[in-house]
Amino acid sequence: MRFGIIVEGETDRFVYSALIQRIRNDVDHVEAIPCGGAARLRQKFAGWLKNFHWQQSSVGTVLVICDSDCQDPRTVEEELARLLEQDRGFYDQIMFPVHFYATKCMVESLLLADERAANEVARRRDGHGSAKPPPDLLEEKKNAKQLFVKMLSQARLPAIPKVYGEVATLADLDRIKQRCPYFLRFVECVTAC
């Protein structure tokens, strides 16, 4: 199955593609569209959905993903759904399921949940690194990006999208669920169809 995602940026593309393929073993490819930030995602996601539709893409479902920046993620998800519904002519034609997910704060919140994954990436790359566990309440951290960059630095890893994806590939999903409860909403969106 091909799964489509529309995300804010390159880092999100790597992380969410890896997580989706770990959650659903029937997904053989994730078609990811990075938009260049949250504002551009809000402006352009309907156009990308139209592109999937008009190209008769073989995506089975599309997930639009945006950070909530520590606001109520449900409000962000509802806003995105309303934006799509405003284009009523297209909305009624969509031939694949579309879901909306807003990360509780930011994608780094999820990756902070398992420092062991960062350490394993470091070991696989050069055998060094010792990232320390982050503080609790990860979903509430407005500085999650800084905390994750610090974790990568401790593990002697560069803070680049590919490394983010490698950490997501090795992260313990149960640990993410435990430390970031809203992640369960993401799992629900991915497994919904």
85 CB-near residues (< 8 Å, 6+ apart): 91
For 32-51, the pLDDT digits (tens) are 999 999 999 999 999 999 88
* pLDDT above 70: percentage of residues in the chain: 97
Residue 180, helix vs strand vs coil: coil
Residue of 173, 170, 164 lying closest to 15 (CA atoms): 164
Question: Residue 185 pLDDT more than 70?
Answer: yes
Query: Rounded to whole angstroms, what are the CA distances from 184 to 84, 150, 151, 178?
Result: 24, 26, 24, 9
Tell me: pLDDT of 110 over 70: yes
At 57 the pLDDT is: 65
Asked if pLDDT for residue 138 goes beyond 80, the answer is no
Tokens 């969410």 -> residue: 16
Work out the average pLDDT over 42-63: 86
- Rg (Cα) of the chain, in Å, rounded? 17
Q: Does the 2-105+181-191 domain belong in CATH 3.40.1130?
A: no
Domain boundaries, the chain: 2-105+181-191, 108-179
Q: Which helix (H) or strand (E) holds 2?
A: strand 2-7
